[in-house]
Structure 1
């Protein structure tokens, strides 16, 4: 995804990408220093602890579905007993008869659920919705990770550039101090002129120390997000959001944003839980069979008996003190809240898209102006330095122009960093800041692989699909996305950045 402006900005980055702090020597067991943004993104995608942890959470969530499907299958248990019994019976006054002994019994219990009026199907759909929620939470974590890596990479480049600019500014002021000192000795400038230069030199040293401190802080954030030290960082590759208008960005975000998709999945989870709570009011049907092998009497193992029993059991809830009604009301309110949060997710996504869009357009248009300002400030300073030697400019004039040059060059480096990060933030808000989209050759982590391995582990052939289909009949739709209820769902904040001037 390459556009002309991105290509121009990538070239401009080369002017500020040279570091002033060399990366530390890597030990034998440490990864090599990162020098390209593509390397940083690939390392984070493969080894970032937060991202790896979220993938593990999703894999654990995948197990919910076979667990829910297993409720359709038979349940078989065996119970064995070895008991001692002793009884004494009074036959007549003062005359007792006692009997005692050991006996062993074994019972096989078989239960096959048949119909639950949607309880089990609701649990099955809840599991699927939780998996969908987990996948979108993984996408959010991945987007946040990629955005952090891009921001840390670009801001480290910016801070290194600012430190280099500050060092050049200090060298410039130091030369000015040397020249002013020589001129003071021959009485061409006053002591006030010399003190003004000395003041700016001290200020320049402080600015350089602060800039170097910012480089160290940025490097620590870089290591935290990538797990590797930075080397000599090359200019980041062009990054094209792929949209020409804010409305296009809105449309993509509403279809692909993981924040909105996660909110939809969360609403489906609570909707399924509401359906399960409502199904508790209705009967449940199951088949139960038992087989027993034991003794005729509980006092001896000498004579044995075998028993087989089978029944269709219908359980009908009657009175429970209002606990079912309370669960239903609680589930209704929880689902209504999740439905409202869907509207909130839409607002949050649109706000993030609009903010990133305006930041991108504003920074993009300001970069060229900062570049021209930096060129003009350089020429103004060089001209003033020459004019000062012939007395046409004062020392203060030259110092002020040196300060302007420092400020403009620093702002130029910051504008380029902000423009690139705003592009990445816009992609993240739209749901497209994913490593495989940024790096087509990267091996993608596919959550569907683990789910396919887990999916059918709870099934009993023929029985589970048939009973699942029957149990779904009383349940209302649990799979479609709910419509937005927010009256402002059709209100979109526009761009306040004016069109680029020729």
Structure 2
């Protein structure tokens, strides 16, 4: 189990997609910070012109000129109504929200991996039980034929045994198909082939001790709730950014240019300018006002979504806690059922030997035993699956809490590497 979870954490494509999306959101911080930095532009202009005048000899003639110009302009924002500061805070909050979404994806992938692992074990056990059942019923068919040949049984006994064996073979075929499907699902999650899987992980030791503890942990730590809280911050700073468009903006400009003009002879003109530009919004067609109102409604929806997510987590924790407790009780009942069915089968076989039971009685007792055994392995699988589901619902299904020996993905490293980048189109990993 631990190796499977580690493989899924390291190689699952869906998880890698979520990490790439987070790295993309990281760049929003650099984009927001760039609005405070200077803009430098250079230009080169070349112009050639020819003038031909037709008329009296005194005014007729031909004139040619060439003009070459170079210019450099720098624009530095000074004050933009606090829009840049709030945009940076909005981008930071958006990154935190995306990190929480990544944690949700990680939990989903680890849960799906654990369930696929348990399904492989389940169907492998069922295939073995069905195989043993087919072999047992094959013995019953041979025994019924032997008794029929010596006159101690009937043709009906033989037919009943053959019918039951055919039914068991069909169920075995279906179980083998389910087993192969489970192995394929496991391989999709982990990129590993499901050979000789062994469950070496005790997930129950990580579970909260009581339902109130589980509810409390879920409300405090579940990444879906944390993501919605960060989304509230995103919307708060979005409102502040848009409101900044009502305020004046101030910027500084500096430019320098040189122009070379040739009209018979070459002349050079140099120009340098420095200035301030103050823009005061007076009426903006109602556009900014509408955007501010819209962002406030989005903020209200984000705050309501926090309550929605809290209720979802509370319900999920309570449901998975009940499922886990029910599975524990089901295992005890199933163990009793298997023990009783085993004793009953042994008793019916002994009674058949002395003529007190029929072949049909033995077949029914065997069916009851197989049914009880399959119920037991299903209950054991359901208990472990419910434990992983409960751990996910309280927000603890991650490689750190599980103690999985794998290099943890640290999203803050990429964020820090791009936050203050002034130039360069290459990504931190060299692309």
TM-score normalised by L of structure 1: 0.79
Give the corresponding residue for 1:126: 90
What is residue 289 of structure 1 aligned with on the other side? 254
Q: Note closer, same or farther for the CA distance 1:72–1:209 as it changes in structure 2 (3 Å cut).
A: same
> Are 1:164 and 2:128 an aligned pair?
yes
Output the CA distance in 1 between the equivalents of 2:310 and 2:176: 41
Q: 2:275 aligns with which of 311, 329, 354?
A: 311
Structure 1 residue 113 corresponds to structure 2 residue 70: no
Stretches of 4+ moved more than 4 A in 1? 85-92, 94-100, 297-301
The alpha-carbon distance between structure 1 residues 390 and 101, as it changes in their structure 2 partners (threshold 3 A), is same
Trace 1:167-316 onto structure 2 (pairs within 5 A).
167-240=131-204, 241-295=206-260, 302-316=266-280
1:397 aligns with 2:373: no
Q: CA deviation at 1:154?
A: 0.8
CA drift of 1:301 comes to: 7.1
Structure 1 CA distance for aligned equivalents of residues 227 and 125 of structure 2: 40
Aligned to 2:326: 362
Structure 1 position 84, deviation (Å) = 2.6
Counterpart for residue 135 of structure 1: 99
Equivalent in the alignment of 2:426: none
- Residue of structure 2 in register with 1:495 after alignment: none
Give 1:144 deviation, angstroms.
Answer: 1.2
User: CA offset at residue 323 of structure 1?
Assistant: 1.8
Unmatched tracts of structure 2, length 5 or more = 424-431
Q: 1:44 touches 1:146 (CA, 8 Å); kept in 2?
A: yes
Flag structure 1 segments of 5+ consecutive residues without an equivalent: 1-36, 460-502
Give distance in 2, aligned partners of 1:259 and 1:91.
85
1:347 matched to 2:306? The reply is no
Alpha-carbon displacement from aligned partner over 1:222-262 (angstroms, at most 9, x marks no partner): 11111111111223311123311112111111121111111
For the residues of structure 2 that align with 1:215 and 1:301, how far apart are their CA atoms? 91
Measure the CA separation in 2 of the matches of 1:399 and 1:417: 27
Moved more, 368-377 or 160-169: 368-377
Question: Post-superposition shift, 1:288?
Answer: 1.3
Residue aligning to 1:498: none
Q: What is the rounded CA distance, in whole Å, between the counterparts of 1:245 and 1:191 in structure 2?
A: 59
- Counterpart of 2:345 in structure 1 is 381
Match of 2:293 in 1: 329
CA contact (8 A) 2:207 2:390 kept: no
CA drift at 1:67: 2.1
- Structure 1 residues 359 and 299: CA distance shift in structure 2, 3 A: farther
The 1:275/1:390 distance shift into structure 2, 3 A limit, reads same
2:381 alignment partner in structure 1: 417
- Partner of residue 497, structure 1: none
Q: Give the 3 Å change call, closer, same or farther, for CA 198–108 of structure 1 in structure 2.
A: same
Give secondary structure in 1 for the equivalent of 2:266: coil
**Deviation digits for residues 361-384 of structure 1, max 9, x if unmatched?**
110121122112111111111111
Secondary structure at 1:431 match in 2 = coil
Tell me how far apart the structure 1 counterparts of residues 73 and 60 of structure 2 sit (CA, whole Å): 39
State how far apart, in whole Å, the 2-side matches of 1:214 and 1:327 are.
54
Please give the secondary structure, in 1, of the residue aligned with 2:259.
strand
Write the distance in 1 (CA, Å) between the matches of 2:265 and 2:231: 59
Q: 1:268 Cα deviation (Å)? A: 2.3
Q: Is the 8 A contact 1:102 1:300 kept in 2?
A: no
- Counterpart position of 2:428: none
CA distance in 2, matches of 1:367, 1:374: 10
The correspondence of residues 36-51 of structure 1 with structure 2, limited to 5 A, is: 37-51=1-15
Task: Tell me the distance in 2 between the aligned counterparts of 1:277 and 1:110.
Answer: 26
After superposition, give the CA deviation of every residue in 1:46-69 in whole Å (9 maximum; x if it has no partner): 111111222222222222212211
The TM-score with structure 2 as length reference comes to 0.91
| Deviation of 1:458 (Å) | 4.1
